[in-house]
Amino acid sequence: MTDNSETSHSEEIESQDGDESRKVIRSIEIKIPMAKEPERLDVFLARQVSELTRSKAQAAISEGAVTVDGSAVKTSHKVRPGQLIRLEVLSRPPLELEPEDIPLDVVWEDRWLVIINKPAGMVVHPAAGNRSGTLVNALLAHYGELATADDPDRPGVVHRLDKETSGLLVVCKRDPALSKLAEQFRKRKVKREYRAISWWQMSAKKGIIDEPIGRDQRDRKKYVVRQDGKPSITHWELLEKFSYLSYLKLQLETGRTHQIRVHLLNAGNPVFGDPNYAGRNRQLGRLTSGQRKQVAVYFEKVSRQMLHARTLGFIHPVTRKELFFETELPEDFTWLLEELRGSASLK
């Protein structure tokens, strides 16, 4: 939050228009401080409320979910000192989830759970811009239905992997499993190990990155290290080092969005190939001309960030048995490692 505005929240209530598909999940009141300069309402809300972009703020104002001193206003309204803004955050209407016959790499399953080795390029669940071709669409085709989640667009989903991150992911088929497994994630009892290839050599053989992460105020699709963010802890270990790249093992103690990518960028070692967190062209200036040519060859083969969820361990939420899964590195990851090892041997 900014401007020292006074903000209060209330819990979920029914929407006023009677539309059962949309509920007021949160009510926010913001008291404009006396020293505040006049500012457009849509711009002000986008800065003040973490989940709002300016376009979403405009939509909320247009549909009457925002009032100023109890009255509906236009998006161009200028907020002024002493005014009380009330925003009703509505749930999204559920998407039509269509089963799609998409091949899946099933590592293990029982009647409660399924462990998937997700390929890079696959989105986990439908959302705006990705309404088909997702893991959830594929799972619905394979199993007919999944466990009920708080978000109707994410049935069975307990945790996620970024679109271009490959590796192990657990999905719940039936309801009793989802809530109990989600609790293990919340209590940090799930073991998750990743492998990554990052830029530059690390500062030591192993270490811990303990830096809070929050949404980037300049680009709301991205995250940054910021002191008012959520506590975030990543353990890392150097497995192999090359002239300008490192092969790492990473373990998550917390599970924030884009956590490894953000933490490694903040440490000065962004994930190789990551276009959103300075892992591609922004690093080329430090290379020799020969190294740049070499990286150009790598980028032709590697079209995504080199990040792979290699292991996953937890207690079965129903049987209480201890489960542990491990998967091999994908083809593009293995290829790059072999190229790096071959280049190193030529020196």
CA angle 153–157–159, rounded 5-degree value: 125
Handedness of CA 175, 176, 179, 184 (dihedral sign): negative
Per the CB < 8 A criterion, the answer to whether 138 and 104 are in contact is yes
Which helix (DSSP H) or strand (DSSP E) does residue 337 occupy?
helix 331-345
Tell me phi and psi for residue 25, to 5 degrees.
Answer: -85, -20
Burial level of 336, CB count in 10 A (0-12/13-18/19+)? buried
Q: How far apart are CA 97 and CA 155, in angstroms?
A: 10
17 has catalytic annotation? no
Secondary structure of 214-250 in HEC code, one letter for each residue = EECCCCCCCEEECCCCECCEEEEEEEEECCCEEEEEE
* Residue 280 · residue 299 · CB < 8 Å: yes
Tokens at 101, concatenated: 């016959």
Catalytic annotation, pick one of 42, 153, 162, 274: 162
Residues annotated as part of the active site: 162
